Amino acid sequence: MTTTILAPAPTPPLDLDDRLALASLAMDERLTTAGLAVDINSAHIAIDPLPEITIPQPPATDFCPYQTPLAALLHRACIRIETDGWCHNALFDETGAVCPIRAIRLEADSRSQADDACHLLLEAIQRHWQAETIPSWNAQQNSSAPVLLAFDRAAELAHNRNL
């Protein structure tokens, strides 16, 4: 009895897609094994939650960069509008928001000081915007940003004039 050994049939060469599929399967297996190894090796590590991180707030100060009375008054009036809110259709509203003139009057020591500050504010407004009066200009604004900018410019003007 003669036995013949048949040679295996030649396998066709793998194309690129087949080789990529086999490599992907091999990599999936290796990544799964590595992930399990990390989980097992780090199971004994207890992780505390991160502490709450808070940003310290600077202390509240009444720092005024101006030494002259009118410049300091305009600076205080600007801060009042920032803190109380800005009102553009009336002297004040039910929420406590104030218009520029009301802010100046509340911060002024006297009526004449308030008048002088209003004149400086109007001058600062007229240098950069077209306006006849503070109330008419204030009513045209859409936000408090130009109002605060006008106060800053008026305070600089008073400071530069030593008023």
Q: In terms of Cα–Cα distance, which of 63, 74, 66, 78 is closest to 162? A: 66
Q: What is the pLDDT of residues 2-20, one digit of tens each?
A: 777 777 777 778 888 888 8
Q: What is the pLDDT of residues 135-145, one digit of tens each?
A: 999 999 999 99
The token duo for 65 is 């960069």
Q: What is the pLDDT of residues 38-73, one digit of tens each?
A: 888 877 776 666 667 676 666 555 678 889 999 999
Q: Which long-range contacts (CB under 8 A, 24 or more apart) does 58-66 make?
A: 66/155, 66/158, 66/159
Q: Is the pLDDT of residue 75 over 90?
A: yes
- Residue at 150: amino acid letter: A
Share of the chain above pLDDT 70, in %: 88
Q: Is the pLDDT of residue 109 over 60?
A: yes
Instruction: List the Cα angle 59/104/127 in 5-degree steps.
Output: 105
